[in-house]
Structure 1
C-alpha cells in the first residue's frame, strides 16, 4: 500500500469541493523573529541577552452558501530548540516551560533561564468564525481578530491574540457605520498570547462595545466608542481624523479617552483620562512625517491601552504617541508624551522608518526616550525587517537593541 502525502491546503480544497464550498482561499506565513540587546552587564549577541521564536499561520476562508462565509486560522509557535544554544528568551507567551517551576521572568518579550529548561511548542485555533450579510447588515460570530481602540488584536508579536465574540455591523444610514459587539473570551496575555493560546473569559466577565463611525463630511472620519468591561470599567473613546483640504497632504487628528473604574477596581477610584493630537504631512512623494502629543491624567488607576493583553502592564496603546517597541509607557497615569515619525519608501531599495518618542511621568519624575530605526524590504514572498532601538530610561542605563523579522508568505 502506498503512503499518500497531502498538504493541508490540498486537503481543505478537496473537502471544499466535496461539500460544494465556494470561493475557498488558503493563505498563511512562516515567521522567524530574533532580537538581542545590551541590557545590564550583557553584550549584544550574548545568549542571555538574546531571544528568538518561529511561528506558522495557516488560514482558510470561503462561502458556505449565498450570504454565509466562514474562516479558520491555525497558529503554531516553536523555538526549534534555540533556547538551548543561541538565546535565552522567547517572543510568544503561548509557550509553556518544563519544568513548570523553572526560573522565568515574563516581560516583553518573555525571558527564561534556560539551564535544564525545555520551552514547549504550542498550537491553537485562533480563528473560527461564521459571517452573514442581509442587506446592509453583517453579523459575525466565533473566534476572530478585532480592531477597536481599547480592545484589539496586537500584530507586532510573532503570533497575535484573538477573541471569541459576536459582532453586528450596520450601514443603512448614509456615510455611517454602526457597530455592536459582545466579547466573551480572549487568549491575550503577557507576551500578547497567553499560555498554550488558551481562551479564557475576557478580562473578568466579558465586555460589551458599541460604536458609530461617520464620514458625512468626506475629509473627516469621526468615531465614538463605548465599552462596558463587566466588573472592571466603563470606557469611552472619541477620535476624529481630518484630511485637510486647505494644505495638500496635511492631516490632523484628535483623540480623547475616559476609563471609569468599577467592580474589583473600585468605583471610588478616579477615572483614567487621556487626550492626544497629531499633525501629519504626506505632501512629498513616498515620504510621510508626523508629530503627536498625548497627556494622561495624574491619578487614574488604569492605563489607557489594550485591555485584551495586559490590563496594567506593557500592552500596546492606540494613542498617536505610542512607541515602536517599549509599550506600557505612553498610556500610564500622569504620562505626557510626544512622538516624531518619518517614513520613506526608497523605491527598489527599502522602506525606511525613524520613530522617536519621549515620555515624562510627573508622578515620580520618570522619563523614557525611545529611538527606533527600521528598514523593510520584500524579496518575492519573503518580507524582511531590520530594526535598531535605543531606549533611555531615567532610572537605569540606556539599552541598545537589534532585531530581525523574517516572514515567508504563502
Structure 2
C-alpha cells in the first residue's frame, strides 16, 4: 500500500505540473466517474475417483474510479478493485479441496486465503497526440499472451508503459514494456506454480517450488513479471506488435514478447473474411512459438522452454429467418513435443494470455505438450438482446503432458445465456453451465455460474 500511495503522489504531481499552465480545475470538474458493479455466484460439483465433492461462493464488488478530462492531450485515471464474500462459509473449507465430501468455499472469487480484498488496480497517465497514444502506470491490457483473463470477480492488471501509433495507413503499431503485474481472483483456482497452472494462464506467484497448493496467489499485489511467472525476478517483459488491415477482407497481426532472461514468445494470427453465397465466412489461423532466453527458467525448473502451437478456425455467419446473429464455428489446434524442454515442449502462459482457438470455459488443455484439440460451437439471439452460445471442446492429451504423465481424452460441454437488458441500460446478466469429463484423469465436474455486470 505504501508503494501504491507513493506512485499515486508522483503521478498526481506530474498531472498538476502538466495541466497547471492550462486549466487543471476544469480537467477535474469534467472528469468522469466510471466502473463496473459485479455480482458473481459459482457452484461446482465434483466426481473424483468415485467420491463426491463441491465448492461454491457468492461475491459482490467490481471496479470504481474516475478519469480526468484531457488537457493538452493528457489525462489521469485511478480505479479501485474490490471483491467481498456474501455468506461465505470459511469454516467448511478443507486443505485439499475438492477431494472431500463437505461443502466449501470456492477460492476463485476472492483474494489470498479466500478473503475479501480491495486495492488500487489502475493508476495511470494517458497522453494522446495526433495518431499516437501513450499510457503509463497501472492499467488493464488485453493482448494475446498477456491479458486480463477476466473470468471471475477481478482481472489481472499490469504496471508499465504502452505506446500505440496509427501513422501508417491501415496499420497499428504497438510497443510497450511491463515490469509488474497483479493476478486477479481466477489465479486462486490453481495451485501456485503447478504444471497445469503454468499452462492455463498463471505462474508461480512469487514461489519457486512446484505445487504450492490452492489460494497461494496474493491477489492484487503487483509483483515483478518474472517473479509472478517463475518465482524469479527479471527486467520485465517488452512487447512489440503490428496489426495490418490494408488488404481487402484480411487482418494480419504479429506480436513478439521478450521476457528478459526467461523466454521469447511469438504470436501470429491471420483472419480472412469472404462471402459464400449469403454466408459471411471467416477463416483464421494462428501460430505460437516459445524459445528460451537466458538461464532463469533452467535454473528454476531444470529445463529450458521450447514450444509451439498451430491453430485454425472457421466461422460462418448465416442469415436465418427466425433468429438473428446466427454463427456456427469449428476450430482445431496441435502442440508439439520435446522431452528435452520444459513441460516436454508444452507452452507456458504465466501472464493470463490464453488466445488459443480451442479453449473451453474452464478447460485449457490445448496448451499442454503432444495434444490435439478441436471445438465446435454456435451462437444466436433467441430474441433481441438475449444470446445463447453452445460449445463442445475435445482434447486428445498425449503421454508427454507433464501434469498427467499419460495419454487421456478430455472434453467440455458448455452453454452461455447472456441478456443485455433494454430496460436498464448497461446491465448484463449471464448464466453459464459447464460440464467437463476427465479434466484431469479421473476427475469430472459440473459447474454453474450466475453473473451480473452493471457498467457506468
TM over 0.5: yes
Q: Cα distance 1:36–1:218, how it changes in 2: closer, same or farther (>3 A)?
A: same
TM-score, normalising length: structure 2 = 0.74
Which of 101, 106, 112 is equivalent to 1:90? 106
Match of 1:32 in 2: 39
Match of 1:250 in 2: 281
Q: Cα distance 1:59–1:282, how it changes in 2: closer, same or farther (>3 A)?
A: farther
CA distance in 2, matches of 1:280, 1:61: 38
**Length, aligned pairs only:** 366
Match of 1:378 in 2: 420
**Is 1:260 equivalent to 2:291 in the alignment?**
yes
**Is 1:158 equivalent to 2:153 in the alignment?**
yes
CA distance in 1, matches of 2:111, 2:242: 38
RMSD over aligned Cα, in angstroms?
2.8
CA distance in 2, matches of 1:38, 1:333: 28
**Is 1:56 equivalent to 2:92 in the alignment?**
no
Q: Is the CA contact (8 Å cut-off) linking 1:150 and 1:305 kept in structure 2? A: no
Runs of 5+ in structure 1 lacking a partner?
A: 1-15, 98-118, 310-315
CA distance in 2, matches of 1:409, 1:47: 35
Q: Cα distance 1:296–1:189, how it changes in 2: closer, same or farther (>3 A)?
A: farther
Q: Cα distance 1:357–1:196, how it changes in 2: closer, same or farther (>3 A)?
A: closer
Q: Is the CA contact (8 Å cut-off) linking 2:183 and 2:219 kept in structure 1? A: no
CA distance in 1, matches of 2:185, 2:70: 36
SS at match of 1:269: coil
Q: Is the CA contact (8 Å cut-off) linking 1:219 and 1:245 kept in structure 2? A: no
**Is 1:356 equivalent to 2:392 in the alignment?**
yes
Q: List per-residue Cα deviations over 1:109-163 (Å, max 9, x = no partner).
A: xxxxxxxxxx432111111111212232221111111111111111111111110
Which of 403, 424, 434 is equivalent to 1:389? 434
Deviates more, 1:267-276 or 1:130-139: 267-276
SS at match of 1:21: helix
Q: Is the CA contact (8 Å cut-off) linking 1:336 and 1:359 kept in structure 2? A: yes
CA distance in 2, matches of 1:174, 1:50: 50
How many Å apart are 1:343 and its aligned residue? 0.7
**Which structure has more helix as a fraction of its residues?**
2
SS at match of 1:342: strand
How many Å apart are 1:18 and its aligned residue? 7.7
**Which structure has more strand as a fraction of its residues?**
1
Match of 1:307 in 2: 350
TM-score, normalising length: structure 1 = 0.81
Q: Is the CA contact (8 Å cut-off) linking 1:76 and 1:124 kept in structure 2? A: yes
CA distance in 2, matches of 1:94, 1:401: 17
CA distance in 2, matches of 1:238, 1:244: 20
Q: Is the CA contact (8 Å cut-off) linking 1:281 and 1:289 kept in structure 2? A: yes
**Is 1:71 equivalent to 2:101 in the alignment?**
no
Runs of 5+ in structure 2 lacking a partner?
A: 1-18, 93-102, 189-216, 227-232, 400-405
CA distance in 2, matches of 1:95, 1:42: 29
CA distance in 2, matches of 1:277, 1:341: 14
Q: List per-residue Cα deviations over 1:338-364 (Å, max 9, x = no partner).
A: 011211111247210101110111122
How many Å apart are 1:281 and its aligned residue? 0.5
Q: Cα distance 1:340–1:47, how it changes in 2: closer, same or farther (>3 A)?
A: closer
